[in-house]
Amino acid sequence: MTLQVELLEESFEKIKPRADEFATRFYGYLFGDYPEAQPLFANTNMEEQKNKLFKSLVLVVNNLRKPNELTNPLKGLGARHVQYGALPQHYPMVGKSLLKAFEAILKDDWTPEVKQAWIDAYAAITKLMLEGADYPEEIYRM
Ligand code: HEM
């Protein structure tokens, strides 16, 4: 899959000055649309979590032109998510909520091309995180 690096970079530059609003919206959509995800964050400091989440997106976008740099960090992130209780089934929920937050902030700049670029990027991120996660195969059939 070839990622649309320029579209991802340009659209993310517009999100950066509104990082906190973006992250607040993201978790608002995640917990509103998928209440089953909320208990995983029961003991989480959400202000810190918003920063961590955003920083991980910055890392991804900063390394789109050298994607090999992303393989190990994203596999490691996926491995840690097993401990956090994240299951493969949760990844589409996070993806949908991220896209919704992008759309809310980018408005007219959220074109079909930009949307597709982020769908592809999220699929690539998920693939690496799940490769690092090493779930038993039954979990994918649940
Ligand atoms: C693109 C996908 C995702 C990204 C980039 C991401 C990013 C992060 C980051 C950077 C952290 C901070 C801790 C660390 O670095 O290990 C974190 C923690 C966490 N994430 Fe994710 N995450 C993703 C998907 C998910 C999914 C699918 C779930 C399941 C609902 C989830 C639930 C959590 C939880 C529960 C924590 C721990 C919070 C705590 O420390 O209390 N994440 N995530």
Q: What is the pLDDT of residues 78-122, one digit of tens each?
A: 999 999 999 999 999 999 999 999 999 999 999 999 999 999 999
Closest CA to 94 of 64, 63, 129: 129
> Which CATH architecture group holds 5-135?
Orthogonal Bundle (1.10)
Task: Answer yes or no: are the C-beta atoms of 26 and 53 closer than 8 Å.
Answer: yes
Q: Of ligand 1's atoms, which has the minimum distance to the CA of residue 60?
A: 5
44-54 confidence digits (pLDDT tens): 999 999 999 99
Tell the residue nearest (CA) to atom 4 of ligand 1: 53
CA of 2 to the centre of ligand 1 (A): 25
Domain coordinates in residue numbering, the chain: 5-135
pLDDT of residue 95: 98
Tell the residue nearest (CA) to atom 21 of ligand 1: 81
Report d(CA 101, CA 57) in Å as an integer. 13
Element (H, E) at 98: helix 90-106
Dihedral-angle region of residue 13 (phi above 0 means left; psi in -120 to 50 means alpha; beta otherwise):
alpha
